[in-house]
Amino acid sequence: MTMLYDALILPFTEFAFMQRALGGALMLSLSACPVGVFLMLRRMSLTGDAMAHAILPGAAAGFLMYGLEIVPMTIGGLIAGIVVALGAGAVARLTVQKEDASLAAFYLISLSLGVLMVSLRGSSIDLMHVLFGTVLALNNDALSLIALVCAVTLVLLVLFWRALVAECMDPLFLRSVSRLGSPVHFIFLGLVVINLVAGFQALGTLLSVGLMVLPAASARFWSQHVSMICLLAIAIGFASSIAGLLLSYHASLPSGPAIILSAGAVYFVSVIASPRGLLFSRLPRSAHRTA
């Protein structure tokens, strides 16, 4: 029993940095995982990944001017995310290029530009911080930002829940019967951007989308109801955050990748062993063929 306590509980009770990391990761899971569910239902998961890369130049600009200060990097990331989203949308509407291709072009340019900007002034350690985050080094300012994003996200999800679900199922119908169609779409994109910026503080630009998408993709194998998928995604996010931080602590691994790999392990278990996964979904067919 003592060994179990030392392995699972002691790191979070003895070290303040582990407590801050756990608090930040749990708040990110609470806000980002439901947003990831709607990304998945809209078939926009790769769009979320592109937007996560797109915030890098803005964060890098804040870093170049003020160093690793949270407010300038956050504002820069928000501006860059909005610019890329609007630019990709404008190219898709005004030219023959599809939105996925224009978004891919914008995010590749943004990622390269951001890496170049950080490399001009910072060291390889600074670049790793921006790309992969430092969840074990979260300070009070970062936690306050994550808490604010979490609160805003939950309030907007409650207020626009029915409209968000309706737009996932049939956006044209929603726009024909309600004026909320277009506003809800932009509200949702705003939620994606602010959660990616909040996740950037802990997990970096390359991994922040992982906590948004992987728990949502895993939960989809266990339920067909949107509300239940969101709850399961949050639970998976919580479990992945705790497991990843413990793995990072005991095995001396980078904390951000450990959290995302923990979520990835749950995803592969869901793919294989869930009621809608490979194993059980093929059993009735095999039994039918045998009969």
14-53: per-residue pLDDT in tens? Answer: 888 899 999 999 999 999 999 999 988 887 777 777 777 7
C-alpha 116/C-alpha 128 separation (Å) is 13
* DSSP code for 1: -
Query: Is the pLDDT higher at 85 or at 174?
Result: 85
C-alpha 214/C-alpha 239 separation (Å) is 12
C-alpha 169/C-alpha 166 separation (Å) is 5
What's the confidence (pLDDT) of residue 291? 39
DSSP codes of every residue in 33-87: HHHHHHHHHTT-HHHHHHHHHHTHHHHHHHHHHHSS-HHHHHHHHHHHHHHHHHH
What's the confidence (pLDDT) of residue 131? 66
Question: What is the pLDDT of the chain when averaged over all its residues?
Answer: 82
Residues contacting residue 100 through CB under 8 Å, at least 6 positions apart: 46, 47
C-alpha 113/C-alpha 249 separation (Å) is 33
C-alpha 24/C-alpha 256 separation (Å) is 12
Q: How far is CA 288 from the centre of its chain?
A: 41
pLDDT band per the 50, 70, 90 thresholds, residue 132? low
Residue 202's closest CA among 132, 278, 262, 100? 132
Give the residue-averaged pLDDT of 197-216: 82
Max CA distance (Å), the chain:
71
What's the confidence (pLDDT) of residue 206? 66
Burial category of 10 from C-beta neighbours within 10 Å (exposed 0-12, middle 13-18, buried 19 and up):
middle
Give the residue-averaged pLDDT of 159-174: 80
What's the confidence (pLDDT) of residue 124? 61
**Domain 2-281 of CATH type 3.40.50.720:** no
Extract the tokens encoding 146: 């994550």
Extract the tokens encoding 247: 């793995």
- Indicate if the alpha-carbon torsion angle 28, 31, 34, 35 is positive or negative: negative
Query: Is the pLDDT higher at 231 or at 5?
Result: 231
Give the residue-averaged pLDDT of 199-216: 82
Extract the tokens encoding 34: 């439901």
Characterize 256-273 residue by residue with b for buried, 16 or more Cβ atoms within 10 angstroms of its Cβ, and e for exposed: bbbbbbbbbebbeebeee
pLDDT band per the 50, 70, 90 thresholds, residue 285? low
Burial category of 127 from C-beta neighbours within 10 Å (exposed 0-12, middle 13-18, buried 19 and up):
middle
254 φ, ψ to 5°?
A: -60, 130
C-alpha 235/C-alpha 215 separation (Å) is 8
pLDDT in tens, 44-71: 777 777 777 778 788 878 877 877 677 7
Give the residue-averaged pLDDT of 140-151: 90
